[in-house]
Structure 1
Amino acid sequence: MRIARVETPAGVRTVRLADDGSWIPITDPYAAFADGRRPADEGDPVAGRLLAPCEPIVVVGIAQNGPDHAAPVQAWLKSPRTVTGSGASVALRRDAGTTVAEAEIAVVIGRDTTGLTAANAHEYVLGMTAVNDLSSPDRSVLDPRNFESKAGAGYTPLGPWIDTGLSLDADLALALIVDDEPVRQTSAARLPVSLRDCLSYVAGWNVLGPGDVIMMGAPFSAAPIHPGARVDVVVADVRLRTATF
């Protein structure tokens, strides 16, 4: 199932993508997930602007999960207020040096992660989506905790939907496309630490809940961008598009 959130004249609705391309309202997918059932359809198709597919209280970034890191995996926190939806326009900061787009797999948590291990991690995951972890790496020299280097309004484009059919164990294709030109192409198999092990690490330190997001790192999938660039992040069949200015 592909789950999204749509802003309609009657308010925000959680929806699923139908075979004909329409958006069908559904009941709470997190309550359904916790009960081990599929969310029910709820009314006629709706139209409107796509929002980020979830509203995380916690956004976790995985560090030390790229080609140049020999240290054990670690994590950091990014403000959920930086999250925006696919199709949004993001103003790149002019006061923070180079801006880098990072194409990453985003795991969306389905329920309280108490008891999550690497072996059972799939039992806690609603699905996966695409995320562009926009960053200002020049700031990291003075900001080792990533507050400044990861800040910026709209600096976490997410979506456009959560794909509940993607597997933690699949070698998901991952691509970064800038101005319609592929600049990075890789896959989940090139992550030095697996999705399961990353989830287990994070859950061992911090309990997450429904709608929270873990960004899994950028293995060979980051590139500098300029204001005015159109940036796409592709995870399997999920394509996230962001305009910048």
Structure 2
Amino acid sequence: MSLPVRRPGKVIAVGLNYRDHAGESAVEPPVAPITFAKYVTCLVPDGASIVIPRGVDEVDWEAELAVVIGRPALNVSVDDALDFVSGYTCMNDVSARRIQREEGQWSRAKSFDTFGPIGPRLIPASEIPDPQSLGIVSRVNGERMQNADTSQMIFSVAELISRLSLGTTLEEGDVISTGTPAGVGAFRATPVFLTDGDVVEVEIDGIGVLRNPVRQA
């Protein structure tokens, strides 16, 4: 098993980028992208285990479209932004919800080792001319949990690249994970969290299925 991309310099994730997910989180949709870093050491490929560390609980899934930058992008316009994309893949922004709540910031709770499954493969940008027209689904043990379309993003892929490149160079290989739709475990009427033995899948049209088992350390 190997990552579908070379080790990136940056993994930039976007929070609350679907209105329905903001709604289930009981917060107003953002007026500007909410971004945070996922540590590069969290990345694992398709088929690798998501390992829940000792002392960590309320571990949740988040199906996301990941964008890989193909050449340096600095201060690019929305109109030109997609020209800087190398390709697209699936990502699972695995999140430790209790730690996320307690610490008031998101990076550490979403960056434990193995909390960044990515794959199964990188699809060239030329094969996905419109990243805003892709179905996105997550399943846990075969049960569908999320079912949405990337057209429902608040900030499009092009808008995200343009905004994130303002004053900061996005380098070749950098990854942008573009946010998750409604259907995560934490905000269900009866919360559902990942446990030892579960299998999580993220499927995006035109890309494939990212599948990872869950293991308790």
**TM-based fold match above 0.5:** yes
Does the aligned pair in 1 maintain the 2:63–2:138 contact within 8 Å?
A: yes
* 1:112-123 equivalences in 2 (<5 Å): 112-123=72-83
| Greater relative CO, 1 or 2 (CA 8 Å, sep 6+) | 2
* 1:98-113 equivalences in 2 (<5 Å): 98-113=58-73
* 1:1-245 equivalences in 2 (<5 Å): 49-67=1-19, 68=22, 69-72=28-31, 73-164=33-124, 165-223=127-185, 224-237=193-206, 238-245=208-215
Q: Extract unaligned runs of 5+ from structure 2.
A: 23-27, 186-192
CA RMSD in angstroms comes to 1.6
**Residue type of the alignment partner of 2:209:** R
Counting helix residues as a fraction of each chain, which structure ranks higher?
2
Residues 168 and 87 of structure 1, relative CA distance in 2, 3 Å threshold: same
Distance in structure 1 (CA, Å) of the matches to 2:68 and 2:7: 10
Aligned to 1:23: none
Secondary structure in structure 1 of the residue aligned to 2:109: coil
Secondary structure in structure 1 of the residue aligned to 2:73: coil
TM-score (norm 1): 0.75
Distance in structure 1 (CA, Å) of the matches to 2:203 and 2:131: 18
Post-superposition CA distance 1:93-132 (Å, at most 9, x none): 3423300010000000001012422111111000100001
Instruction: State the 1:61 CA deviation.
Output: 0.5
Does the aligned pair in 2 maintain the 1:177–1:184 contact within 8 Å?
A: yes
Kindly name which structure, 1 or 2, has the bigger radius of gyration based on alpha carbons.
1
TM-score (norm 2): 0.84
Distance in structure 1 (CA, Å) of the matches to 2:130 and 2:165: 16
Distance in structure 2 (CA, Å) of the matches to 1:135 and 1:169: 24
Structure 1 stretch displaced more, 141-150 or 111-120: 141-150
Does the aligned pair in 1 maintain the 2:17–2:180 contact within 8 Å?
A: yes
Does the aligned pair in 2 maintain the 1:50–1:160 contact within 8 Å?
A: no
**Residue type of the alignment partner of 1:172:** L
Instruction: State the 1:199 CA deviation.
Output: 1.4
Does the aligned pair in 2 maintain the 1:131–1:156 contact within 8 Å?
A: yes
Instruction: State the 1:84 CA deviation.
Output: 0.8
Sequence identity percentage: 23
Does the aligned pair in 2 maintain the 1:60–1:215 contact within 8 Å?
A: yes
Q: Extract unaligned runs of 5+ from structure 1.
A: 1-48
